[in-house]
Amino acid sequence: MTEQIGKVKLDLSFYPGEDFYCDGTVEDEILDIVKNYPPEEYQKKIEEKRSWPVFYHLSPQRENIAAWLPMDKNTKVLEVGSGMGAVTGVLARKAGSVTCVDLSKKRSLINAYRNQEYDNVTIYVGNFNDIEPILPCDYDYVLLIGVFEYGQSYIPTEAPFEDFLNINQKHVKKDGNLVIAIENKMGMKYWAGCAEDHLSRFFAGIEDYPDGGVVRTFTRNGLERLMRKCGVADYHFYYPYPDYKFADTIYSDRRLPKVGELSKNLRNFDADRMLLFDEKNAFDMVIREGIFPMYSNSYMVMTGPAPDTVYTKFSNDRADIYAIRTDIVEQEKRRIVRKIPDSPAAAEHVENIAKFYKELKKRYEGSGLFINECHLIKDGKGLPEAQFEYLEGCTLEEMMDDCLDREDMNCFRSLFGAYLDKIRYRAQVPVSDYDLVFGNIIVDKEGRWNLIDYEWTFEECVDSNALAFRALYCYQMGDGKRKGLPVEEFLKELGISEEGAQEYRARERRFQKAVTGNRVSVSDMRVLLGRRAIPWQEFFSRLDRKKVEIFEDYGAGYSPEHSYHHFPSYLVDDHMRISVPVKEGVRGIRIDPAESSCIVRMESAVLNGMELPLSEPAYLAMNGWELTPKKDPHPVFFFHSNDPNINIRLDKVPEGGDGILEVEFEIEWLSEETASAVDANLKRRHWF
């Protein structure tokens, strides 16, 4: 009852013989990719396919949620709900053994093929309840990544989430960790206009799942209540940002996000979204108010002892030679910063950071700009690790923001002038930090300016105007509140012409392409997948364009004197509902649904609970071509006119016509070219 895929063992002893859930043909498509292409070509296939499921299941950034966890070849891992192996690969590379459990054979085959080079992976296929009793209770890690929310599906009991937590917790050895990654149903992105991930419904989690279903996500308080009910006292919260699926930063209660850090918020890859407000500004507010944990988009909860790492930032959405990770580690109440290659190819890049520390220190000695000290060490595998002192203070960027908030441009200019003095110091020395932006300078409590990140240093003389331009450019792009900064004035003072500015922007584009290796970044995948982010103002402008005109007939016909504009009470895509108050004495209502050619399919007309027979000409008349047979209960009309109208007659309604008339219809707006072609075709048919 086992299969061998490469070096991976597939245990089918508990497989029921069929998969009870499936994403359809896309799973076959993904299986074909992992069978025929090595992992290093997945990104290319993602960009070719432009498919959300392919991107979701095969993106290497999915591994980030687990890549920072401390593991070695003595580590034993259980991954429940391993799916197509989005996380399994990084576990196999780091740990000694990885046991996977998943209900789907096809998904497990995908997992096995993509990780077939690893001999430390076993995948059990079948129902978790059947497999769980044979699993040992000595795992260093038990991982539930995007799984806990389905607890009611796994455990059919009265308290499924508590029981699911207890069952998994018992498989964790003493001093081991159970790790849960899950969405926060109160996450900022859901308030701001993203649909709930599992149900694709706006505000479903915020409304506490009014339509039911088996999926449940939790607030932080909800997760903590579960921990207490299960008797788990030792647990720790982490905050993957933007969310756990494509995390590029992991925060913790020991190192929460700072104002200005949460700016990557347009990450709606699976569906279109609304833009109800600026999430960065809202995040900045909740950070200042000390309530960020309530609104984090995702949670990562870890039971057991906390690792030393209090913060991780992944910079691996790049070319392999530049892909690194930055950790803040706390040991004996002392913090250090570590920069680590995310792959062996980036080893030289990390070594260069330590090399350039010495050269930058020599160049800026005496300038008042201090370079954060860097030490290079080797890890157990011989890979380099750059270590820095963790410095406290206020970034220059924050200080400049404060000037703008106080509308103190003199202060802003003074800070910018001091910045210019420092970056121009000994400019003839052939070593330059191209990323000498305001956010990379910390001013400590003694007032010292410290350059904390100099990853992008080159052995060349970079024009100080280019550095200043880039600092202003990145600063203004980083926050909508900075749009009013008179950058042109600063450029004029620097002597940078528009042609020069264009060249600097072109240089920045070339730099970004070199860093990313011309790959499509995770942030840009939203555009590649064709996902829209629609501002709320556009919803209202669309509604305004789709307002209708109502005419009332009191027995003398329709006239502008008895007309008014009315907004639909319901409007989704092309489906419209109009709720019209009908006054006493009104014998007919005319609805003008558009000011252009269109096709209208009538759904219903209901007055005070009575459905009017739309197939009867005595109740419905139109000034367009009827496209459906007579007596059709849902007639369709074509209008080649800038004044289409729907005429609902109320003369024959018993007991008078006053009340509320609810009219529902579908409408398709047509261009003049299309409408003319349809009209000509209908006239030819009518002639013959």
Query: Are 253 and 236 within 8 A, CB to CB?
Result: yes
Query: Which is it for strands 235-241 and 334-341: parallel, antiparallel or unpaired?
Result: unpaired
CB within 8 A of 221, min separation 6: which ones? none
Q: What is the pLDDT of residue 567?
A: 81
Judged by average pLDDT, the poorest of 203-207, 319-323, 420-424, 561-565 is 561-565
Q: Is the pLDDT of residue 82 over 70?
A: yes
Percent of the chain residues past pLDDT 90, beyond the cut: 83
CB within 8 A of 579, min separation 6: which ones? 569, 660, 661, 662
Q: What is the pLDDT of residue 422?
A: 97
Question: How far apart, in whole angstroms, are the C-alpha atoms of residue 515 and residue 503?
Answer: 18
Percent of the chain residues past pLDDT 70, beyond the cut: 98
Q: Please give the angle made by the CA atoms of 469, 473 and 479, to the nearest 5 degrees.
A: 155
Q: What is the mean pLDDT of residues 606-623?
A: 89
Question: How far apart, in whole angstroms, are the C-alpha atoms of residue 240 and residue 247?
Answer: 5
- Domain ranges, ordered by start, for the chain: 2-187+212-258+296-318, 319-520, 546-687
Q: Is the pLDDT of residue 665 over 50?
A: yes
Side chain identity, residue 632? D
Q: Is the pLDDT of residue 635 over 90?
A: yes
Q: Is 563 exposed, middle or buried (0-12, 13-18, 19+ CB in 10 A)?
A: middle
Instruction: Look over the chain and give the mean of its residue pLDDT values, rounded to a whole number.
Output: 93
The 10s digit of each residue's pLDDT in 284-320 is 999 999 999 999 999 999 999 999 999 999 999 999 9
Q: Which two tokens stand for residue 383?
A: 């890979």
Query: Are 605 and 557 within 8 A, CB to CB?
Result: no
Query: Are 188 and 297 within 8 A, CB to CB?
Result: yes
Question: How far apart, in whole angstroms, are the C-alpha atoms of residue 307 and residue 645?
Answer: 69
Q: What is the mean pLDDT of residues 67-75?
A: 97
Domain 2-187+212-258+296-318 and domain 319-520, same fold? Reply is no
The 10s digit of each residue's pLDDT in 144-199 is 999 999 999 889 899 999 999 999 999 999 999 999 999 999 999 999 999 999 99
Q: What is the mean pLDDT of residues 490-495?
A: 94
Q: Contacts from 400-408 at CB under 8 Å and sequence distance 24+?
A: 400/438, 400/475, 401/259, 401/260, 401/479, 401/481, 401/482, 404/481, 404/482, 404/484, 404/485
Query: Are 631 and 649 within 8 A, CB to CB?
Result: no
3-state secondary structure at position 182? strand
Fill in the DSSP letter of residue 60: G
Band of the pLDDT at 90, cuts 50, 70, 90? very high
Question: How far apart, in whole angstroms, are the C-alpha atoms of residue 557 and residue 400?
Answer: 67
The 10s digit of each residue's pLDDT in 397-414 is 999 999 999 999 999 999
Q: Which two tokens stand for residue 586?
A: 């009104």
Query: Are 55 and 46 within 8 A, CB to CB?
Result: yes
CATH T-level fold of 319-520: Transferase(Phosphotransferase); domain 1 (1.10.510)
Q: What is the mean pLDDT of residues 18-37?
A: 92
Query: Are 54 and 46 within 8 A, CB to CB?
Result: yes
Q: What is the pLDDT of residue 518?
A: 83
Question: How far apart, in whole angstroms, are the C-alpha atoms of residue 410 and residue 403?
Answer: 8
287: how many CB neighbours lie within 10 A of its CB? 18
Q: What is the pLDDT of residue 688?
A: 45
Phi–psi pair at 148, nearest 5 degrees: -60, -30
Please report, for residues 310, 318, 513, 683, the alpha-carbon distance to residue 661 in angstroms, rounded to integers and kept in the order given. 61, 59, 59, 34
Partner residues linked to 606 by β-bridges: 611, 662
Query: Are 106 and 114 within 8 A, CB to CB?
Result: no
The 10s digit of each residue's pLDDT in 338-376 is 999 998 999 999 999 999 999 999 999 999 999 999 999
Distance of CA 677 to the CA centre of its chain: 43
Please report, for residues 12, 123, 623, 631, the alpha-carbon distance to residue 15 in angstroms, rounded to integers and kept in the order given. 5, 11, 63, 55
Query: Are 238 and 145 within 8 A, CB to CB?
Result: no
The 10s digit of each residue's pLDDT in 248-292 is 999 999 999 999 899 999 999 999 999 999 999 999 999 999 999
Q: What is the mean pLDDT of residues 576-584?
A: 89
Q: Is the pLDDT of residue 389 over 90?
A: yes
Helices and strands of the chain, counted as H and E runs: 22, 35
Question: How far apart, in whole angstroms, are the C-alpha atoms of residue 165 and residue 140?
Answer: 16
Nearest of 148, 120, 410, 170 to residue 299 by alpha carbon = 148
Q: Which two tokens stand for residue 624?
A: 């367009």
Question: How far apart, in whole angstroms, are the C-alpha atoms of residue 104 and residue 15?
Answer: 8
Question: How far apart, in whole angstroms, are the C-alpha atoms of residue 366 and residue 450?
Answer: 13
Q: Which helix (H) or strand (E) holds 102?
A: strand 97-102
The residue written with tokens 């997948």 in the block is: 529
Q: What is the pLDDT of residue 542?
A: 63
Q: Is the pLDDT of residue 634 over 80?
A: yes
Partner residues linked to 207 by β-bridges: none
Fill in the DSSP letter of residue 633: S
Please give the CATH number for the structural domain made up of 2-187+212-258+296-318.
Answer: 3.40.50.150
3-state secondary structure at position 23? coil
Q: What is the pLDDT of residue 360?
A: 97
Supply the pTM of this predicted model: 0.83
Query: Which is it for strands 249-252 and 235-241: parallel, antiparallel or unpaired?
Result: antiparallel
Question: 3-class secondary structure for 650-681?
Answer: CCCCCCCCCEEEEEEEEEEECCHHHHHHHHHH
DSSP letters spanning 541-599: HHHHHT-EEEEEESSS---GGGEEEE--SEEETTEEEEEEEE-TT--EEEEE--SS-EE
The residue written with tokens 């496209």 in the block is: 627
Q: What is the pLDDT of residue 94?
A: 96
Question: 3-class secondary structure for 452-481?
Answer: CCCCCEECCCCCHHHHHHHHHHHHHHCCHH
User: DSSP E strands: which ranges in 381-471?
Assistant: 384-389, 394-395, 432-433, 441-443, 449-451, 457-458
